[in-house]
Structures are given as structure tokens and as C-alpha cells.
């Protein structure tokens, strides 16, 4: 019997190619407040954290109230986009294959509940995920709380789950929760940063995932 039963995915940078949209929305939120936007690469490096923590890392000297305004501005700017960013190639087809194989799938993300719902509904992926956790209802990554709550809800243990993500925050969360973890090469953090967490594998294309999981057992 296959031991691995649950696959938990990060969203931004793992399933959805949303980097440019996120950076643009954060940068615009700064400009809306009459402030100079941080550099692209600085904003990019915070993707995967909760919005508030991202702003606090980008601008550690700002008052909490101003940080909250920037978070609100980000949400307003991101929601105002006419189109959602695209999924990465082969995501839908691969999720279908994984579901048909019998895996349960979930999402653990730095997005808000509202933001994740909009993304899942907008891409038509509702049927694939049995549960989700977001940074506004759980301690954000790299805390293990999201994974722990998902496993508790599904009555599964750490040896039955794997976390797939594009940042060290995803892999650090998984390591803290005691689950297996794997990276993707197309996201925010370079593979060299992911390798420091000894991932089970690093995907170069999403469609490699079923074969990599089958090797894990």
C-alpha cells in the first residue's frame, strides 16, 4: 500500500505564475501612499510570506498602521486586475492525474482566504483540493501550523504527507512539521536555496511530479 497519501501545494510561484502581478500590486501600494516602491528583486524575495510580514521585511522602520495600509492597498490593486495570472504549464493535467491516482491534495499559502478563493475559483480548480490553509487564519510560513492543521483535519501523519513549494519558507514549514518536502525550479527562490533543506526532489516541469512521487512510495 502506498504510504504517501497527501500532497500539499504552495500556490504563488508553484501552481500559479503570479510573481509579476504580486510585485506590481505591492509596488503600486507604495506609490498610492506617496512612497518609493522597493526594488523588484526585494519584493520578489518576500513572496511566500504573509502580506504583513512581507511589508515589514521590505520596510522595517514603518509604523504598523502604515504597513496595514500597504497590505490593504496591495489587496485592492491585485483584485483590480482584469485577469488572473496563468497557471504554470501542465498544472491542470497533472492535478487530474494525481487525483485519479488517489492522492488527496491541499493548499497551504501566504495568501488570504479571500485571495486564495478568488484564485481557485478563477482557475476552476475547486474540485482538486480537499482543504486549504491561508496566512490570515493560521500562523504564516515557516510556522508548521498550516500543515499540522491540514494533517489533523484529514487524520494523517507526517509520514503520509509531502509539501511542494518554490521557496525556502515552504520547505522550512514542512521540515518543522516533519513532512517530506520537494521544490520546484521555476519559482521565486533559486534551487540553491531550496537544496539547503534537502528536498526529496526538485521539479523542472510540473508534469514530472507523478513519477517523482511514485519513486517515493
Where are the domains positioned within the chain? Answer: 6-17+86-216, 19-79
Measured between alpha carbons, how far is 23 from 199 in angstroms, rounded to an integer? 27
**Candidates 12, 32, 61, 136; catalytic one:** 12
Please indicate, yes or no, whether the overall pTM of this predicted structure exceeds 0.85: yes
User: Which residues make Cβ contacts (< 8 Å) with residue 76, sequence separation at least 6?
Assistant: 29
Q: How far apart are the first and last CA of the chain?
A: 8
Q: Which fold has domain 6-17+86-216?
A: Rossmann fold (3.40.50)
**Candidates 10, 121, 152, 155; catalytic one:** 10
The per-residue pLDDT for range 33-46, each reduced to its tens digit, is 999 999 999 999 99
As a CATH number, domain 19-79 is 1.10.150
Measured between alpha carbons, how far is 148 from 177 in angstroms, rounded to an integer? 6
Measured between alpha carbons, how far is 113 from 92 in angstroms, rounded to an integer? 21
Measured between alpha carbons, how far is 49 from 203 in angstroms, rounded to an integer? 21
User: Which residues make Cβ contacts (< 8 Å) with residue 55, sequence separation at least 6?
Assistant: 26, 62, 67, 70, 71, 74
| Residue 159 is a catalytic residue | no
Sheet with strand 6-9: strands edge to edge = 131-134, 104-109, 6-9, 161-165, 180-184, 202-203
- Strands 161-165, 131-134: parallel, antiparallel or unpaired by DSSP? unpaired
Element (DSSP H or E) covering residue 202: strand 202-203
What pLDDT score does 81 carry? 86
- Reading the chain (217 residues) residue by residue, the pLDDT tens digits are 569 999 999 999 999 999 999 999 999 999 999 999 999 999 999 998 889 999 999 999 999 999 999 999 999 999 898 789 999 999 999 999 999 999 999 999 999 999 999 999 999 999 999 999 999 999 999 999 999 999 999 999 999 999 999 999 999 999 999 999 999 999 999 999 999 999 999 999 999 999 999 998 7
| Residue 112 per-residue DSSP state | -
What pLDDT score does 48 carry? 87
Q: Can you tell me whether residue 104 is helix, strand or coil?
A: strand
What pLDDT score does 88 carry? 97
| Residue 32 is a catalytic residue | no
Amino acid at each position: 500500500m502506498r504510504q504517501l497519501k497527501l500532497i500539499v501545494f504552495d500556490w504563488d510561484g508553484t501552481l500559479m505564475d503570479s510573481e509579476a502581478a504580486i510585485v506590481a500590486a505591492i509596488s503600486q501600494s507604495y506609490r498610492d501612499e506617496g512612497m518609493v516602491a522597493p526594488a523588484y528583486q526585494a519584493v520578489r524575495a518576500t513572496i511566500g510570506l504573509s502580506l504583513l510580514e512581507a511589508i515589514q521585511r521590505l520596510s522595517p522602520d514603518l509604523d504598523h498602521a502604515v504597513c496595514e495600509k500597504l497590505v490593504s492597498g496591495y489587496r485592492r490593486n491585485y483584485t483590480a486586475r482584469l485577469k488572473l495570472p496563468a497557471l504554470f504549464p501542465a498544472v491542470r493535467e497533472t492535478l487530474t492525474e494525481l487525483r485519479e491516482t488517489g492522492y488527496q491534495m491541499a493548499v497551504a499559502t501566504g495568501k488570504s482566504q479571500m485571495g486564495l478563493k478568488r484564485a481557485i475559483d478563477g482557475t476552476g480548480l475547486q474540485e482538486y483540493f480537499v482543504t486549504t490553509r491561508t496566512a490570515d487564519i493560521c500562523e504564516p510560513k515557516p510556522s508548521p501550523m498550516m500543515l499540522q492543521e491540514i494533517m489533523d483535519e484529514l487524520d494523517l501523519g507526517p509520514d503520509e504527507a509531502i509539501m511542494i513549494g518554490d521557496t525556502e519558507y515552504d520547505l522550512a514549514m514542512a521540515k518543522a512539521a516533519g513532512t517530506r518536502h520537494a521544490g520546484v525550479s521555476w519559482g521565486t527562490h533559486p534551487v540553491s536555496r531550496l537544496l539547503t533543506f534537502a528536498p526529496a526532489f526538485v521539479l523542472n516541469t510540473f508534469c514530472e511530479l507523478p513519477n517523482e512521487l511514485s519513486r517515493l512510495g
